Amino acid sequence: MKQNVARAVPLLALGLLLLSFPAQAHGLNAAWHALVSQNPEMKAAAMEQTPETELLSIFPVVDEPEAAPALPSPQELASVSAAGIPLFPVVEIADNPGDAGKAVLIRWMLFETSPVKLRGKESVPDTGTFNGWALTKGEDGYKAQREDRTQWSVKILRAQLGVDGLPGPFVEIEEVLVGGAVHKEEIRFNKDTKNVFWPDRNLRYNTPGERMARNRFWQEHVDADVGDGASYAYRLAVTDGERIAYCYRSMPIQTGLNRYEYKRSYKFGPASPAVNLIPADPSAMSDFKSRLMASFAPPTEITARDNPSDSGGAILIEWLPSADDLDVEIRSAEQKRTHPNPVTSYRIFRAETRNGSAGDYILIGSKSAGLDKNEREAQRFETIKKKNYIDDGAGRMRRDPETGEKYVPQYSYLVTASDGVLLSLGQPSTPAGARTQWFDFDKLYFFIVAFIISAAIIWFIQHIKAGKKLFIRKIAGLEAVDEAIGRATEMGRPILFIPGIMDMNDVQTVSAVIILGRIAKTIAEYDTKLMVPTSKSLVMTTGRETVKEAYLAAGRPDAYNDDIVTYLTDEQFGYVAGVNGIMVREKPATCLFLGAFFAESLILAETGNSIGAIQIAGTAMPSQLPFFIAACDYTLIGEELFAASAYLSNDPHQLGSLKGQDVGKLIAIIAILSGAVLATVAQLSSSVTMQKIFAFFENMFSAI
Amino acid sequence: MLRRTLPLLITFAVGFVLVISKFIPKVETLGEDFSIYFDIIAVFAFILGGGNLVKIHGNKIYRRSEGWGYSLVCIIGFFATLTIGLFKFGNPLGWTGNVVAEGSAFKGIYDFIFKPLGATMFALLAFYVASASYRAFRAKNAEATVLLIAAFVILLGRTFIGKMVSFWVPIDQAGPDIPSFAEWIMNVPNLAGQRAIMIGIALGIVSTSLKLILGIERSYLGADTE
């Protein structure tokens, strides 16, 4: 009865696991709806202060600063007027996810400015209309409704980048109609003053034929008419047929193969700013500022310097967060709900500077607002609240093509606070360049520990040579090797040796081949058949050399032939199929799985189990150990695989290395105990000194 | 002399550079270069592997050994794929196109023959997990019983049933329920055990690497009997 219960329990658990799949799907669905219900009104409370600067269209319109060849038709542009276009797109362009390349995803959200003119401090009448909007009074604000009969459309233009990185002529690839919609918006106002505070400056422009609720305001177009691996720039334009306004061009985007289908939920993240390229020209910059400036404060004290302890190519950018970034302080969930953070992220732009002047600022990355875990950790003992970003795309030392002189490219950085749409610009940093260092001081403690362990191993190897005898504990799996070989000999069946599926650059495979040499010698002495199918050509050639030497050492060179070690295939499951076939056909009495294994470990071990072979496995892949333990008779766990060659050889040089490893274990034990004691004391006591000591200790080993 | 000393010198030089490149950024690129050299050598060795495959199966077919029909399928598959890949049959961009371009015959072989076959082998794992779990989770002794209980809690905790049967904690509240106990098992005893194994593995790798770099272990060169 007890045995039956013990058997039934795992089956029951397995059944429950299968039953739970629909529930897990339900859970995902719930999470989906939770995301959908995110309310954009969260910014309302932070919008009390509205800037006096009127937000115009983001477009540079017809007199935009790009060179004429970049536009589709200068003649056409000259004949149209951009005056009064009230819409502007916020654009996000990315390699289309989940495809095999050859597609770019362009999505945009339209904003409306001038027709509505909703600005702070502007009172709302109790009823009736407001700037062309029909108002319906509600509890917290007004519902506004307006019908726009203008037939707007968004034009998408594309240019391929040349080898010089500059875009060629922009060509129109798509025109999407967006106008003629009935607009519904909620306008919120202060109950006492009746001043509008949401939205403070502009409205999202609802498009007809709204898609799924989660994608209500976004429109998208997949440009599948692009080459694989090529780079493109895009720009969008809004037109009503007579007037047209162009957006700045996007950053270059490259198509490519996406190995995995991304979850489309990434679209819930904040959108990139409308402009990914900030012009370096000061007048254009001021124009840009006037058009994109948000109501919240910009980041300050932006500095850039060479990222320390690296091989060059990286610059560390630091800045003080925006004064409006509320999440730099620890806040409760209630506070976050009632006073949402107006700043959601920081956008980092880079411009290369030559001869003292900066080029265009290109968006290179972003960092979320507030403090992340590491930054909070750093604030435990010091009040520095600087945020940082490492730009690892900076150029290394290069040679000037004209003068032939070597120089380190210099870069200026601009950090902006963003609410996902609008930007608040700080002052650009002074230029900085990336250099290569001689020593990585971040790994100093790692170096010290590695040096001590290495020195101990070498010392013990020498020590053993002097004739000292050391105690080496028995390893059951290795003790059983002779027994397993003897069993195969008695049964007249072959021995199968699998050296893992990695190549000779993996130390586990090297260990496996070394063990193969030791075992092959015994097998040759017993005159038993050995089979070593490999999945890598280099392993095959190395294995052949090793086995040949072993047979020679055993005095049986005649018993050796190249067919002992064979090559099957590099492909993981093709190799598994081949080995399983050998097992089923040849029915080896002993199977040895030693080396690096992945998902195939259990398939191999269970097949070996089904043919009744005695099985010895050994791997340093922690995730595969449980499978081998469950399905094999003996398992060499982690370090035992590396110790096996020394153990089997009984060579004093090799045994000394085992003793040296014990010194490493001693260091690990001392570190673990010290860490546990320090963490406990630091937690229990309020002593800042103790906490600092623990932080230092933690930092020391986190680098390892 | 060259057969043994030269490989040992190369091993020492490459191993030493790879170790110091971890600490000295100036030689980091050199370390990366050495890794690329390995890939180049491995490509040449692939010819040996392919040759071995053809030789073994060719012999089987020639001698009409048992199961020679399978060897024939293997050889036909090998040469057909090789030819289609080399000559880029059906590639929409012709000779200049990517060998795995969409619509090419080579990509078709990969998508419609190779991938389903690989997935079929991988799918076997689900059944082997069941059979291995059945043997491993039998409560034969105290240790196996602990394993059984831990596995049962984790299986329950990772499903909705775990929350449902935790009657002592209201369904809409967090508390010491089965899912949190399962998380504790994974994050504390399991992680502690894994870390101990990983420390041992790291030390084993250091030791083995040192033996290889210093030439103490040289049996992989076929020079054990020197």
Mean pLDDT within B59-65: 94
Q: Which of A45-54, A99-108, A340-349, B206-215 is modeled with the greatest confidence?
A: B206-215
**Is 80 exceeded by the pLDDT of residue B121?**
yes
CB contact under 8 A, A507 and B208: yes
In the prediction, which pLDDT does A43 show? Answer: 31
Mean pLDDT within A35-48: 31
Q: For residues A464 and A659, give the distance between their C-alpha atoms in angstroms, rounded to a whole number.
A: 9
In a domain, A10, yes or no: no
- HSE, CB side, 13 Å, CA atoms: give it for residue B118: 15
Does A247 lie in the same domain as A156?
A: yes
CB contact under 8 A, A645 and B217: yes
The kind and range of the H/E element at B57 are helix B28-63
In a domain, A266, yes or no: no
Residue range(s) defining the domain that contains residue A121: 43-261
**Is 70 exceeded by the pLDDT of residue A207?**
no
Q: Residues of A with CB below 8 A from B56's CB? A: 563, 566
A271-301 confidence digits (pLDDT tens): 333 344 454 444 444 444 444 455 678 898 9
Query: Contact, A355 vs A349, CB < 8 A?
Result: no
Short-list A158, A157, A155, A159, CA closest to A175 = A155
Does A306 lie in the same domain as A220?
A: no
Mean pLDDT within B89-99: 83
Q: Residues of A with CB below 8 A from B158's CB? A: 17, 20
Does A432 lie in the same domain as A293?
A: yes
Does A508 lie in the same domain as A446?
A: no
Of the candidates A20, A437, A606, which has its C-beta nearest B160's C-beta?
A: A20
- Confidence band of A421 (pLDDT split at 50, 70, 90): low
In the prediction, which pLDDT does B205 show? Answer: 93
Choose the final residue of a domain: A230, A261, A292. A261
Q: How many domains does chain A have?
A: 4
Q: For residues A516 and A258, give the distance between their C-alpha atoms in angstroms, rounded to a whole number.
A: 40
Q: Residues of A with CB below 8 A from B124's CB? A: 603
In the prediction, which pLDDT does A686 show? Answer: 77
**Is 70 exceeded by the pLDDT of residue A642?**
yes
Q: Which letter does DSSP use for residue B224 in this model? A: T
Largest CA distance in chain B: 76
Interior/surface letters A15-31, b for 16+ CB within 10 angstroms, e for the rest: ebbeebeeeeeeeeeee
Closest CA in chain B for residue A552:
B225
**Is 60 exceeded by the pLDDT of residue A35?**
no
Does A679 lie in the same domain as A561?
A: no
In the prediction, which pLDDT does B222 show? Answer: 65
Interface mutation target, options A26, A461, A657, A672, chain B, most CBs of B under 10 Å = A657
Q: Residues of B with CB below 8 A from A17's CB? A: 155, 158-159
CB contact under 8 A, A642 and B205: yes
- Confidence band of A206 (pLDDT split at 50, 70, 90): low
**Is 80 exceeded by the pLDDT of residue A548?**
yes
For residue A326, what is the domain's CATH number? 2.60.40.10
Does A328 lie in the same domain as A207?
A: no
In the prediction, which pLDDT does B204 show? Answer: 93
In the prediction, which pLDDT does B114 show? Answer: 93
In the prediction, which pLDDT does A245 show? Answer: 72
Distance from CA of B28 to the nearest CA of A (A): 7
A617-628 confidence digits (pLDDT tens): 999 999 999 999
Query: What are the beta bridge partners of residue A145?
Result: A134, A184
Q: Residues of A with CB below 8 A from B148's CB? A: 6, 9-10
Distance from CA of A203 to the nearest CA of B (A): 38
Does A329 lie in the same domain as A253?
A: no
For residue A616, what is the domain's CATH number? 3.40.50
Does A282 lie in the same domain as A412?
A: yes
Give the A:B interface size as CB pairs under 8 Å: 243
Residue type, A71: L
- Confidence band of A124 (pLDDT split at 50, 70, 90): low
CB contact under 8 A, B219 and A645: yes
Closest CA in chain A for residue B150:
A10
Short-list A416, A438, A435, CA closest to A425 = A416
Q: For residues B193 and A180, give the distance between their C-alpha atoms in angstroms, rounded to a whole number.
A: 65
Query: Contact, A157 vs A236, CB < 8 A?
Result: yes
**Is 60 exceeded by the pLDDT of residue A67?**
no
Mean pLDDT within A181-207: 58
Short-list A394, A654, A316, A704, CA closest to A514 = A654
Q: Poorest-confidence range of A360-374, A596-610, B150-164? A: A360-374
In a domain, A32, yes or no: no
Of A305 and A94, more confident: A305
Q: Poorest-confidence range of A353-357, A639-643, B63-67? A: A353-357
In the prediction, which pLDDT does A252 show? Answer: 60
In the prediction, which pLDDT does A654 show? Answer: 80
In the prediction, which pLDDT does B9 show? Answer: 92
β pairing state of A530-534 and A614-619: unpaired
Interface mutation target, options B128, B163, B188, B221, chain A, most CBs of A under 10 Å = B128
Interface mutation target, options B4, B198, B203, B213, chain A, most CBs of A under 10 Å = B203
Q: Which of A116-120, A285-289, A375-379, A394-398 is modeled with the greatest confidence?
A: A394-398
Q: Is the dihedral of CA A581, A586, A592, A595 positive or negative?
A: negative
- HSE, CB side, 13 Å, CA atoms: give it for residue A603: 22
Phi/psi-derived region of residue A163, left when phi > 0, alpha when psi is between -120 and 50, beta in every other case: alpha
CB contact under 8 A, B211 and A654: yes
Mean pLDDT within B128-156: 88
Query: Contact, B187 vs A613, CB < 8 A?
Result: no
Query: What are the beta bridge partners of residue A49?
Result: none
CB contact under 8 A, B35 and A505: yes
Q: Say what the ipTM of the complex is.
A: 0.92
Of the candidates B199, B210, B222, which has its C-beta nearest A546's C-beta?
A: B222
The kind and range of the H/E element at A171 are strand A171-177
Does A450 lie in the same domain as A589?
A: no
Query: What are the beta bridge partners of residue A106?
Result: A93, A221
Q: Residues of A with CB below 8 A from B219's CB? A: 514, 517-518, 546, 549, 645, 649
Of A379 and B150, more confident: B150
Q: Is the dihedral of CA A545, A551, A557, A560 positive or negative?
A: negative
- Confidence band of B122 (pLDDT split at 50, 70, 90): very high
The Cβ of residue A280 has, within 10 Å, a number of other Cβ atoms equal to: 17
Q: Residues of B with CB below 8 A from A23's CB? A: 159-160
Distance from CA of B176 to the nearest CA of A (A): 20
In a domain, A29, yes or no: no
A101 Cβ contact list (under 8 Å, min separation 6): A228, A229, A255, A256, A257, A258
Query: Nearest 5 degrees, angle CA A627-CA A630-CA A636?
Result: 75
In a domain, A5, yes or no: no
In the prediction, which pLDDT does A217 show? Answer: 61
β pairing state of A361-368 and A357-358: unpaired
CB contact under 8 A, B52 and A447: no
Interior/surface letters A205-228, b for 16+ CB within 10 angstroms, e for the rest: bbbeeeeeebeebbbebebeebeb
CB contact under 8 A, B52 and A639: no
Q: For residues A663 and A660, give the distance between their C-alpha atoms in angstroms, rounded to a whole number.
A: 5
Interface mutation target, options B220, B221, B225, B226, chain A, most CBs of A under 10 Å = B220
Q: Which letter does DSSP use for residue A595 in this model? A: S
Interface mutation target, options B100, B107, B131, B219, chain A, most CBs of A under 10 Å = B219
Query: Contact, A156 vs A170, CB < 8 A?
Result: no
Query: What are the beta bridge partners of residue A177?
Result: A153
Does A519 lie in the same domain as A417?
A: no
Residue type, A146: R
Residue type, A5: V
In the prediction, which pLDDT does A586 show? Answer: 93
**Is 50 exceeded by the pLDDT of residue A651?**
yes
Q: What average pLDDT does chain A have? A: 74
3-state DSSP of A447-499: HHHHHHHHHHHHHHHHHHHCCCCCCCCCCHHHHHHHHHHHHHHHHCCCEEEEC
β pairing state of A104-112 and A203-204: antiparallel
Mean pLDDT within A458-463: 84
B5-37 confidence digits (pLDDT tens): 888 999 999 999 999 988 998 888 888 888 888
Query: What are the beta bridge partners of residue A567?
Result: A534
Of the candidates B24, B128, B201, which has its C-beta nearest A638's C-beta?
A: B201
Does A316 lie in the same domain as A210?
A: no
Q: For residues A349 and A276, give the distance between their C-alpha atoms in angstroms, rounded to a whole number.
A: 8
State pTM to two decimals. Answer: 0.66
Query: Contact, A641 vs A472, CB < 8 A?
Result: no
Does A452 lie in the same domain as A413?
A: no
Query: What are the beta bridge partners of residue B33?
Result: none
**Is 70 exceeded by the pLDDT of residue B90?**
yes
Asked if residue A199 has a cis previous peptide bond (ω within 30° of 0), the answer is yes
In a domain, A465, yes or no: no
Positions of E strands within A355-422: 357-358, 361-368, 387-391, 398-399, 406-407, 410-418
In a domain, A110, yes or no: yes
- Confidence band of A487 (pLDDT split at 50, 70, 90): very high
**Is 80 exceeded by the pLDDT of residue B178?**
yes
CB contact under 8 A, B206 and A548: no
- Terminal-to-terminal C-alpha distance of chain B: 11
In the prediction, which pLDDT does A18 show? Answer: 45
Interior/surface letters A514-524, b for 16+ CB within 10 angstroms, e for the rest: bbbbbbbbbbb
In the prediction, which pLDDT does A163 show? Answer: 59
Interior/surface letters A540-579, b for 16+ CB within 10 angstroms, e for the rest: bbbbbbbbbbbbbbbebeebbeeebbbbbbbbbbbbbbbb
Q: Residues of A with CB below 8 A from B41's CB? A: 538
Q: Poorest-confidence range of A92-106, A581-595, B40-54? A: A92-106
**Is 70 exceeded by the pLDDT of residue A65?**
no
Q: For residues A628 and A635, give the distance between their C-alpha atoms in angstroms, rounded to a whole number.
A: 7
In the prediction, which pLDDT does A197 show? Answer: 55
- Confidence band of B4 (pLDDT split at 50, 70, 90): confident
CB contact under 8 A, B45 and A437: no
CB contact under 8 A, A517 and B219: yes
- Confidence band of A109 (pLDDT split at 50, 70, 90): confident
Q: Is the dihedral of CA A62, A67, A68, A69 positive or negative?
A: negative
Of the candidates A538, A585, A641, which has its C-beta nearest B204's C-beta?
A: A641
In a domain, A613, yes or no: yes
In the prediction, which pLDDT does A552 show? Answer: 92
Compute the CA torsion angle A225, A227, A233, A239 (nearest 10 deg).
Answer: -10
CB contact under 8 A, A439 and B23: yes
Name the percent of chain A lying above pLDDT 90. Answer: 29
Q: For residues A300 and A620, give the distance between their C-alpha atoms in angstroms, rounded to a whole number.
A: 49
**Is 50 exceeded by the pLDDT of residue A117?**
no
Residue type, A539: V
Q: What average pLDDT does chain B have? A: 88
Q: Poorest-confidence range of A413-427, B66-80, B97-111? A: A413-427
Distance from CA of residue B36 to its chain's centroid? 20
